[in-house]
Amino acid sequence: MLKFYTKRCKGCGICAYFCPRGVLEITELNKSAIKAGKENDCISCGQCEMRCPDYAIFVKKEGA
């Protein structure tokens, strides 16, 4: 499960670039979001959280 802090996100796209499942995109509002239809494709690998320079994404692993 992903949690976004949209006020922190500057829309750099690093999270979307490194997502191995192609779950993330940058919206028209220049913010990171989950692509429509990809809500269940996140594997909670943490690449987006680890690479976000603005600490705008946090990954909560299922069952944790």
Phi then psi dihedrals of residue 16, to 5 deg:
-65, -40
Collapsing DSSP to helix, strand or coil, 53 comes out as coil
Instruction: List all residues 6 or more positions away from 60 whose beta carbon is below 8 Å from its beta carbon.
Output: 1, 2, 3, 44
Structural tokens at position 6: 């949209």
Query: Beta-carbon neighbour count of residue 48 at 10 Å?
Result: 25
User: Could you tell me the domains of the chain?
Assistant: 2-59 (3.30.70.20)
Evaluate if residue 60 carries a pLDDT over 60. yes
How much is the pTM? 0.87
Q: 37 with 21: CB under 8 angstroms? A: no
Evaluate if residue 64 carries a pLDDT over 60. no
The whole-number pLDDT of residue 9 equals 96
Question: 10-50 pLDDT, tens per residue?
Answer: 999 999 999 999 999 999 999 999 999 999 999 999 999 99
The whole-number pLDDT of residue 15 equals 97
